[in-house]
Each structure stands twice: as structure tokens, then as C-alpha cells.
Amino acid sequence: MANNVAEFTDDNFDEKVINSGMLTLVDFWAEWCAPCRMIAPTIEELANEYQGKLSIGKLNVDDNNKTATKYGIRSIPTLLFFKNGDILKQVVGVRSKSELQEVIDQNI
């Protein structure tokens, strides 16, 4: 995983996402998912560009099905934007960097 992209798990999700006061982007993914691999470079670029302003991390749905089930993740990649424990936006599928930047810039 890239330096600025955190690894979220069932065990650390509340601490690193729900209890974070910062806008947090969670990428729900799996290793076998081709679209997940397609969006990964975009996620890494955003993590580098918004370092210190936005928390970005990935949650492997195969290894952390409790959290994936809790948020009703049925398709991957699914990106959830959280702030103060609330979901602000859900994006399903591969999206452009500019589309994701628009959501980030509106909510930082």
C-alpha cells in the first residue's frame, strides 16, 4: 500500500474513520477485483495531493467482512466519504480523478 494510503480493518475502522474529525475516503476493495486495481493509482495520487487535509485508506472486503457488511457494500470498488462519523457520499465503480476531487473539495 502507498505511504499515504492507510489500511483500514474491522479492528481499527471506528478509531481511524468514524472517530476522525477529518474527511476520510474509504476504498472498499479486494485483490481479485480488476476495477479495484484500475482505481488504485488514482487513490494513491489523491492521498499524496491531499496529504494532511484528507485521510484516505483501503479496506479489503475479503479480510474485513464485518465492516463491509455493516455499510452494505455489494459492489466493489465502493468509495465512501466519511466526516464526523457520517457518510457524506458513496461512489460505486471506477471514477475519474476529477470527479473524486470535486467531492473532496466540496467537503474539506
Q: Name the grid cell of 94.
A: 471506477
How far is residue 97's CA from residue 56's CA, in Å, rounded to a whole number?
Answer: 14
Q: Please list the active-site residues.
A: 33, 36
Sequence-ordered strand ranges (E) for the chain: 6-8, 24-29, 55-60, 78-83, 86-92
